[in-house]
Every structure is written in structure tokens, then in C-alpha cells.
Chain A
Amino acid sequence: MGTGPGVLTDPVTTAVRGGVGDSPRRPDGTLKVTGEFAYSSDLWMDGMLWGLTLRSPHAHARVTRIETARALAVPGVFAVLTHEDVPGTNLYGLEIRDQPVLAADRVRYQGEPVALVAAEHPEAARRALDLVEVDFDPLPPVTDARESVHGTSPSLHPGGNVVRHVRIRHGDEHARADVVVTGDYEVGMQDQAFLGPESGLAVPSPDGGVDLYVATQWLHVDRDQVAAALGLAPELVRITLAGVGGAFGAREDLSIQVHACMLALRTRRAVKMVSSREESFFGHVHRHPARMRYEHGATRDGRLVYVKAETILDGGAYASSTPAVVTNAATLGAGPYDVPNVAIDCYGAYTNNPPCGAMRGFGAVQAAFAYESQMDRLAAVVGIDPVEIRIRNALTEGSRIATGQRVDSAAPVAELVRRVRDMPLPPSADGDLRAMPGGVANTTHGEGVRRGVGYAVGLKNVCFSAGFDDYSTARVVLEAVAGEPVVLVHTAAVEVGQGLVTLQAQIARTELGVARVTVATADTQVGGAGSTSASRQSYVTGGAVQAACRQVAEEVRRRAAERSGADPGALDLAGGKVVTRDGVPVADMADLLGDDRVERTVEWRHRPTSPIDPATGQGDAHVQLAFAAHRAVVDVDVELGLSSTGWCATRRSPTT
């Protein structure tokens, strides 16, 4: 066929818009800024009931009696459920199934769910909740994670109070150095405080199953835990993602999922549950508080010889993702530095404090606070600049981290630090109260103000680590609608605001050369996508969508080649057409498809990782590492102890 000049077909000169590299608008952007977006708390069904949770007022207590008769007698109340009503296994958990759906004979933290109520009106449910009688026999709470790890506190779970201990031994455990700095560091609990509280709607189905609409982070792991607690086959639990108002890790564990389903299955009515702002803080995990003792040894010119550390993370009452958080805090615990000798012991503890689990950074940030504080002290002792000490020890491609894993992709740590250092400093407040410590509260016009500049670098693993079978599934369908090729992308990957829906469509447009792409609502009707966490969805679900698109494209090229006699390997998809390498159309995709559709489902995996060695913590545990450098500039009123809002400069790799 002719490809030279003079051929009477329009060459396709531009790719479809909105592909990878463009900045298309978020499909939900306008809805969100105009207040029209439906969050999970906006779910509604005529005739639905309202579910509420009774929570323990005690951090640690025996439950000796639960009496529901008076609550059930409240007009408008349809069900009052306790642990006796849990149809399946009354235990769930992300990594270790240690958390009751409803407390049976013991509560281990303040806020632990004890009973559920469903009523026609939230007010009736509230009144009924007040009438559930629970006798608690308070026990002394275990609140000190260090004592808990060292075995001096009563056991809270059958296996003792150490959820996980990771031991890292890299190089010479007994290395010595000329310069030694040691420090004890403590970081407190933090909360993700997403704006859309825990909420969802469970609808019983005629087949005995349940449909759950919920804001979450990981649909399939929710489904498996819900099914086990309900005693149902997984296919009878269908979960559909509802509008997520922020997540940041706090939706990785179950909250109202099993509770709403239990109430729906019992009452045979749709049941909606929504936490209040205050209840939300009791209803999800927080960031682990940590106590860290670090010792850094270096040469006189500030080159690291060794890092020794003991880190204790307070996991609270239940395990949640504490084991993985401990792994991160340990394996990333020496920071983005070239350190020949590392000895780290990192523990996750059970206590009667609020349960802790996933929050952005996931163990990496606690460690960073300690090792970066240490680097500042080391710089002061050695007598060099804080920027210089970081550059001097920066990890580079080819270096090994504490696990012995060789960094085999870009690691521009020194470059990141230089870049933040070289950014211009923010101007001084100069009369603008908003930039002063205290702001418009008018506490200083410059009196007592000193400027502080601080640097920190950090590293974080991308994707799931340590041998986890980490994959995502994408189903891609190409068909012709009204003479135009249209793509449907279907995954179970959760959009929490990070832009994944936009990205999936971008990938499909680029791979298939089709402008009209629909991204289906995420649900469990397709294979698992893994969690929206660990910075993994662009990588893993993005990879799955790309791979599925490529299989679809291959089939389209095959059909076009069949029809035109061209070599399928010499064809591309662009602008809704199949074209030659020179951009000359050989077929219109819509024509080619006719009434047929091309559908492919692909399960995609990144390169495998390995578990770490239990004795030494050595192993290629991470897929890839991301690096960040920050410079913070803060003006402080040293007389009042107030600070300005601060300016933070950030550079990251590989993301930017």
C-alpha cells in the first residue's frame, strides 16, 4: 500500500489530547470545588436505617455483661447487635487477625466497638445506644510501649506484647569510630484527620449476600475480611467504592464495613453508617508514636562509619499494619546514606493506647526524625555545615542500604540537597503580620524574632516490600459507540484524591490512541488492585492498565493487518485509527471493530522482592526507593515561643 506523498488520506499528525504528559482536568474537580461531589457520607436509599456504634469508654477492661433489651424497646429501633451476633469469625486484621469485630469479654482500647444499633432515625439510634447496658470491670491499662516490649507489662494478646521485632545487622556490629553522637528521640501520635468521616451504605441482596458502598483504600482486602466476619463466601460480598474524602492510610483498616453489613443482613434493610468528626478519631488507626535511641559513629571529617539504633513503635491495642511499619522503620532506619556498618533493632508493641497503623510515610518518617536530628548533631560536632554532612554521606546509585540491597536506580540524594539549599530564601516578614510569628494575632512586629533554617532528607520504599505478592488487575474494553472508538478501563484501584482516575484514562489514551475513555467505578467485580498506599497505584495499577491496553492494541493491529495485509508490527494506534509508522491510516478503529469488542484483563506484577533474613535483616526487600530533601525556614519569636507558618522547599526523586 502507498505511503508516499500524494496519497489521498489525511495523515494523523497529532496524538489524542489528554494522554500521558498532558494535564487533563480531574473528572471530579469541578464537582468537588462546587460542593456537588457525592462523598460516602452522602449515600442515601429510601427506607434505609441508620447504624451507630457503642464504644468502650475504657482503655482496658473486662466486659462482664451486655444487656440490650431496653435499647431494643426504643420505638424505631430495628436491631441491637453484640459479639454474639457476629455470624462468622469475630476477628479481623490487615496482617494479623487479632481485632474483634465487636468486643466479647475484653476491651483493649478506649473507643473499641462493643455493640451496634440500627434505627429509622439517627436520633432513635442515639437514644437506644444510651440504653445498651454494658458492665465493664476496668483493668490497669498498659500505656508504656518500652515496658511492653521488655516484657514487664501484662500480656494483652496470647503471643505476648511484641508484635514484631526486626533485627538489622549489616557490616561489623562492633565497628568503632573517632566521633560518636548519641541521642534519644521521641515522636508523638499523629492522625490523618481526613475530612470525610468513615461512612458507607450496606444493602442486603436477595441471594443472601450484601452490597457495600464505602470509602476505603483496598477493596479486595476489605471484602475478604468482611466475608470472613460475616461467614459468607467472598463472592457474596460485593464492595463498590463510594466517594472518598481523604484517606492517608487511615482507611486501610476496616471501620464500619462489617458493622454496616451485619445490621443490613439482620434487618434486611439498607443501613447507612456515618461517624461524627469526634467518633472518627476513635474509628481509625493513627501514626505510631516512637521512641528511638540512635548512635552515629563517624570519622573526624564527618564520614559515617556506623549507625546503631533501637526503635520502639507503639502499635496500640491491635496489630493493624504494625509489622510492615516496623519493617520500614528498620530497613530504612539508617537514612539515605552510605553507611558501611548498621545495627538496628526495631520493635512494634501492643499497648492499650489507640491502635496505630498506616499513615503516609509508614515508619520511614519516625526514623527520619531521629537520624536527621543525629546528622545535625554530627555536623555540629565535626564542625561542618548541615548541608555538607548530608552531601558527604549521600547514598548514590550503586550504594547499599542497611539491608545490603544495592540501589540499582537513580539516587540523586546529594543533588536534591543542593537544589533545596540553592533555592532563594523567603523574604523576611517586613511589616506583613501574616508572615510573622503569631500572624494577625499581632504578637510581634519583629521583636524577639530569630530565623531558623533546617534541612532534612529521607527515603521511602515504593510499592509493597519483603516478598509480598504485589499485583494489580486491569480490564480494558475497546468498542465502537456511534461510529467512534470508546475505551472502558475497569480496576479495583481506589482513587483517594491522588489522581488515579485521571492517570488511568491518560494511559489508555496514549496506549490506544482513543480520545473517549471511561474509567469504571472501582469495585470487587474485577480482580484485586492492591491498596492505595505505599506510593504504588500509579506504578502497579498504571502498569496493569498499560499492559491490558497493549494486549488490546495487539489484537486491533492483528485485525487491521489481516484486513490490509500489512505487517502488524509496523502498525500503530493513533487518533482513533490504525496507522502505519509514517502516520498513514490503514483502518478506522470503529470500522474495524464493527459490533465486536476487544476485551483483555491483565494481572500485572512489578519485579519480585524477597523477605529479609530474620537474623540479619539482609535481603532485597524493596522494589525501588524514593528520595526527598526538604529545607524549612521558620521565624520564631523566642520570647513568646511562637513561630511563623514557615516555608518548606521540597525536592523529590523519582517523582519530580
Chain B
Amino acid sequence: MRRPTSWAEALSVRAAAPDLLPIAGGTDVMVELNFDRRRPPGLLDLTRVPELATWTVFDGTVELGAGVTYAQVVADLGDLLPGLATASRTVGSPQIRNRGTVGGNLGSASPAGDAHPPLLAAGAVVELESVHGRRSVPVSEFFIGVKRSVLEPDELIRSVRVPCATGPEQFSKVGTRNAMVIAVASFALRVDPGRRRVGTGIGSAAPTPRTAPEAETFLAREIEAADAWASRDPLPAPVVRRFAELVAAAASPIDDVRGSASYRRHALTVMATRTLGWAWDEYRQGVPA
């Protein structure tokens, strides 16, 4: 077990010993070790790296250290990143939220990870670093397969940069029970009047978390065409319906123990319809720009 106490030291340990498995909250790693699914030669404990455990805001963007826990997100970021905060509230139990981190969620790169849809909807960027330098990868390009990401063996996740919300955000997750549950399907929505765009994120309904780009452009165009960013008029029902269809069409779900592909598509349609309704209602109730 290596326990670096600074970011620079963490990167050099990583470069020297890429076989060591990084561990943050350990809520994924310890499960794998306890069930004997993984036997790494050792662990690289990141919990003593102070740079990872903080978040800052600069120029309308939250830079969220990889070691920030869900509990911190819920406590601190409800206003700046309401979608991520709502998603964080649905993660595991209080114990898991106290230890589990957004960086660990990215590190595991599970298609069901709950932080991913709101990060996708927000157009967030993952900051990766090694002793050779730093690179920025949009979240939508970070995941490359089931539990696989672009993270190189000598790299660590430094942070994720998330543009602050300028309007309503929603997150909705269907599980096989009401708490402590892995998503059967989830959906995140960002209505972004400041940037005149719509963001989406789909969880647990494709090999990776992904956006619904056609749904995003369709809805942004309709809002623009109706001048609804300014008028805040209700969205016509056919527009909402089409948006939901395009969200469901963007998924490529499978049948598994948690749910069937067709249920997942149906659930996405329902979640997209409802979340858009709530978000747009909230926007309409806001003070006109």
C-alpha cells in the first residue's frame, strides 16, 4: 500500500508502479477485493492527497476534485450543480455517500454510475494527468466500453470540470427498489438558458453512459424557433413527446437481471417526459431574463 500525501507524489508513484490499484473511497475496490474478483499487487491510496478532496469555482465552472464525496456534493453543490446533487442523493446509503467519490465513479466507468448522466448533461470535462502532463477529455468521450475508459495506466483522474447550471436540472433513476439500488435506467437533463442549449445523459441503458444528441438539438431548435427561451411559453405536447422518443432512441439497452431492454426504453421515455415537464415548469416560474 502506497500512501502519497501530495498530487505530485501520487503521479510519480503511479508512473513507477502502474500495477498498484488506485483506491479513493474504496466502495467499489473493496467489494472487488472481498469477493476475490481482483488481486492487485498493491493499492495506491489517494485519500491523503489534499488536492483531490476540494472543489473550486472559477469563471462559471466548478472544478471538482476527484476525491470529493457524494456527501460533499449534496451538502455544497445543490445550487451550482443541482443535477449532480440530485443524483448524488440517490447513491447507496449514507455510509456509501460519505466515502464514495465522483472520481471513483468515473474510475469504475460503470454504465450504471449515477454521477455520469448529470456530468454528461452538463457537458463536463475530465482532467487526466500523469508525470508527462495533463489532458482534458469531455465526459462524452471518456467512456469507451463496459467499465472501460480512456484512462491510461500511468494516469490519474485529477478532477472533473463542470459548467455551472444556468437553469433547471433534473435527474431521475429507476431501480428495482426505492433506495440503495443500482440503476435499471437513469436520465439527466439540463435546461441551459445561459448557453441556449439542452443537455442529456442516459445511464444504464447502453454499454456506456451516453448523451442523446439528437434529442438535445431537436429540443434546443424547437425552443429557439418558438422564442421560448424568452417567452417561457409552455412546450407543446408533441415537442415533449418527440424529445422523449429521441431520448429512448439514443439508448441501446440490453435484457439483464435488472430489467428488459424494452422496459428500459419505456422507462427512458417516461423519465424524459416527466423531467422535461418539471424542468420547463421550473424555468417558466423563474424570473424572465
What is the interface of chain A, defined by CB distance below 8 A to chain B?
A: 278, 437-445, 447-448, 639-642, 644-645
Contact = CB atoms under 8 A, between A and B. Distances in A.
Given A440-B89, A445-B274, A447-B274, A645 B170 contact: no
B283 interface: no
Contacts of A448: 270
A53 to B, nearest CB: 16
Interface string B56-87: 00000000000000000000000000000010
Given A640-B267, A640-B270, A442 B178 contact: no
Contacts of B271: 443
Interface string B138-150: 0000000000000
B174 A438 contact: yes
Contacts, number: 48
Contacts of B35: 278
19 contacts: A278-B35, A437-B178, A438-B172, A438-B178, A439-B178, A440-B89, A440-B179, A441-B175, A442-B90, A442-B170, A442-B171, A442-B172, A443-B271, A444-B274, A447-B274, A447-B277, A639-B270, A640-B267, A645-B178
B274 A441 contact: no
Nearest to B173: A441
B181 interface: yes
Which 9 A/B pairs are nearest by Cβ-Cβ distance? Answer: A439-B178, A441-B173, A441-B90, A442-B172, A639-B270, A443-B172, A440-B89, A439-B179, A640-B270
Given A442-B86, A443-B270, A640-B174, 18 more contacts: A278-B35, A438-B172, A440-B89, A440-B90, A441-B174, A441-B175, A441-B178, A441-B179, A442-B170, A442-B173, A443-B172, A443-B174, A443-B274, A444-B274, A447-B277, A448-B270, A640-B267, A644-B178
Contacts of B86: 442
A644 B177 CA distance: 9
Contacts of B171: 442
Contacts of B178: 437-441, 642, 644-645
Nearest to A639: B270
Interface string B263-284: 1000100110010011000000
A444 B35 CA distance: 36
Contacts of B278: 445
A520 B57 CA distance: 63
Interface of chain A, helix or strand or loop or mixed?
A: loop
A442 B270 CA distance: 12
Contacts of A640: 174, 267, 270
A437 B277 CA distance: 18
A436 B117 CA distance: 22
A645 B177 CA distance: 9
Nearest to B178: A439
Query: Which of A437, A445, A644 has most chain B Cβ within 10 Å?
Result: A445
- Could you tell me the dominant secondary structure of chain B's interface residues? mixed
Interface string B27-55: 00000000100000000000000000000
B270 A441 contact: no
Interface string B141-182: 000000000000000000000000000001111110011010
Interface of B: 35, 86, 89-90, 170-175, 178-179, 181, 263, 267, 270-271, 274, 277-278
Contacts of A439: 178-179
B41 to A, nearest CB: 16
B47 to A, nearest CB: 23
A322 to B, nearest CB: 29
A29 B35 CA distance: 32
A549 to B, nearest CB: 45
Contacts of B179: 439-441
B240 to A, nearest CB: 12
A437 B200 CA distance: 23
A441 B267 contact: no
A437 B178 CA distance: 7
A441 B181 contact: yes
Contacts of A447: 274, 277
Q: Which among A444, A445, A642 has the greatest number of chain B C-beta atoms within 10 A? A: A642
Contacts of B170: 442
A499 B260 CA distance: 45
Contacts of A645: 178
B113 to A, nearest CB: 15
Contacts of A641: 263
Nearest to A436: B178
A648 B72 CA distance: 35
Contacts of A639: 270
Contacts of A441: 90, 172-175, 178-179, 181
Contacts of B274: 443-445, 447
B204 to A, nearest CB: 12
A639 B90 CA distance: 21
A278 B36 CA distance: 12
Contacts of B173: 438, 441-443
A377 to B, nearest CB: 28
Contacts of A444: 274
Nearest to A438: B178
Contacts of B263: 641
B58 to A, nearest CB: 30
A333 B257 CA distance: 34
Nearest to A446: B274
A586 B66 CA distance: 78
Contacts of B172: 438, 441-443
A642 B278 CA distance: 19
A278 to B, nearest CB: 8
Nearest to A437: B178
Nearest to A642: B174
A445 B279 CA distance: 12
Contacts of B277: 447
A523 B246 CA distance: 67
A447 to B, nearest CB: 6
B56 to A, nearest CB: 28
A448 B170 CA distance: 18
Contacts of B267: 640
Contacts of B181: 441
> Which residue, of B170, B172, B263, has the highest number of chain A Cβ atoms within 10 A?
B172
